[in-house]
Structure 1
């Protein structure tokens, strides 16, 4: 099976989705706010689902992966973390968002954006809408080992 930028193998079954699926942490108020933002403002149809209520297997994900970062599943593959947001920009279709997506994937910018994503994810419980339930497990915990990174 081909691997995506997230390092996750994907099958043809879920790679042929006509409508992209955004998978987020439904227990996190901050994550829910961000997902709702995209739901309201997306120029392209988008299915938004909390990983706790998603059929993760059909999306090519497992619980540990979904708990570790946000994902978008598109016809092109599965994108997690910072790459998820770059792909969200790309699928909007208009020239401005495509340009932003291209910029987000430039080598130096990509690393910076991935670093920023990890900082936000690690501190999301401190952000507006965040709660103690939003806190991520420590990087060396059993829940985060073996999870694909950005």
Structure 2
């Protein structure tokens, strides 16, 4: 199984961000919505995926969530993005990134690419 980056496929903003990752940040990770992922095989729960994006490394190492997951994905790319991932993975940067990540998550329906469906909490959406 390759490295896997899991996001909310029911959110247009999240999907737009995932498409950006796939197009502009070259890496070998599988970028997949949690709604279509085998969460049990990945060792994830629905609650974890509702809370934040998730990173599951192929080598069985520890998973990461939110900005830490984004940093891990960046670190699998070319030198420019690896550097960005290393910076984001620094403890003080990550500590600042979490509040920003949570703000974006709460307001994603207002951001470019977002829709009204993004405002519906994922744990209240119909299951697919």
- TM tier, smaller: 0.7 to 0.9
In the alignment, structure 1 segments of 5+ residues that lack a partner are 1-16, 138-142, 144-150
- Aligned residue number for residue 98 of structure 2: 114
Question: How far off is 1:131 after superposition?
Answer: 1.7
Residues 61-80 of structure 1 deviation map (CA, whole Å, 9 limit, x = unaligned) = 11111111111211233111
- Aligned residue number for residue 85 of structure 2: 101
* Bigger fraction of residues in helix: 2
2:112 to 118, 122, 128: 128
Distance in 2 between residues matched to 1:105 and 1:44, nearest whole Å: 17
SS at match of 2:23: helix
Distance in 2 between residues matched to 1:106 and 1:136, nearest whole Å: 32
Q: CA RMSD in A?
A: 1.6
- Tell me how many residue pairs correspond in the alignment: 120
Give yes or no for contact 2:28–2:76 (8 Å, CA) kept in 1.
no
Distance in 1 between residues matched to 2:72 and 2:93, nearest whole Å: 15
Give yes or no for contact 2:55–2:63 (8 Å, CA) kept in 1.
yes
Distance in 2 between residues matched to 1:87 and 1:81, nearest whole Å: 10
Residues 22-68 of structure 1 deviation map (CA, whole Å, 9 limit, x = unaligned) = 11111100000011111122322121211111110111111111111
Does structure 1 residue 32 correspond to structure 2 residue 44?
no
In the alignment, structure 2 segments of 5+ residues that lack a partner are 124-128
SS at match of 2:31: strand
Normalised to the residue count of structure 1, the TM-score between the two structures is 0.73
Q: CA distance change for structure 1 residues 99 and 67 in 2, over 3 Å: closer, same or farther?
A: same
